[in-house]
Structure 1
Amino acid sequence: MKNEKINILGIVSILIPTIVSILILNFLLGIVPIEKIEGLPLVMPMFLCPIGAIIGLIAYRYRKDRLSLIGIIFNIILFLFPIAYNIFVTLIFGV
């Protein structure tokens, strides 16, 4: 029972940044136009990825598996993406 919960936590820690990544790709590429959420996909990682990283840390603390570790790394990278995006866009376009 305990291992199943931790495995579910590991899956959730990967699922959060995966969904946010899909929304960011949709925002940048305009695959499915969603005007109502405008710039929200670029702000969501700032709030959701720390939660996903904490869930991954909890799962990794109880059961040291690769799934939780990948979730932690994916959340940290995605947390840094909006910051890097804003810096590069400001440098390129000068706005």
Structure 2
Amino acid sequence: MNMNVLGNKSNHNFVLGIISILIPVVVTILIINFFSAFILLEKLQGLPVIMPIFLCPIGAMLGFISYRLYKGKLSLIGIIINILLFMFPIIYHVLGTFYFGV
């Protein structure tokens, strides 16, 4: 009976950790597709570049909650990846402004 409770905690840790990593992976795939145009998604236009500003804080919070409760490495990796990807649109727009001078 005690092992069942521990199994449940590890499942929650696993699910929150996977979601906190899945968010930046999906956004990264959309960003790569935006720049390379492997699959034409004309309706999205520039949305993949802006998506990290809205989605990565959610992923970081899920990873933080999971890390606070269960101390898993998966959630810590999710926090780090989300924070790095959150900075991408800011750096992209600053470098674009410096390069193109607009």
Which runs of structure 2 are paired with 1:1-95 in the superposition (5 Å)? 1-95=8-102
Structure 2, unpaired ranges of 5+? 1-7
CA distance in 2, matches of 1:6, 1:54: 13
Shift of 1:31: 1.3
Match for 1:3: what amino acid? S
- TM superposition score normalised by structure 1: 0.96
> Runs of at least 4 residues of structure 1 off by over 3 A?
none
Deviations 1:35-94 (A, max 9, x none): 100000011100100000000001101111211111000000000000000000111111
CA distance in 2, matches of 1:34, 1:28: 11
CA distance in 2, matches of 1:84, 1:71: 20
SS at match of 1:37: coil
Is the 8 Å Cα contact of residues 18 and 74 (structure 2) preserved in structure 1? yes
CA-atom RMSD in angstroms: 0.7
SS at match of 1:89: helix
The sequence identity of aligned pairs, in percent, is 56
Q: How many residues align?
A: 95
Structure 1, unpaired ranges of 5+? none
Bigger Rg over Cα: 2
Deviations 1:2-31 (A, max 9, x none): 220121000000000000000000001111
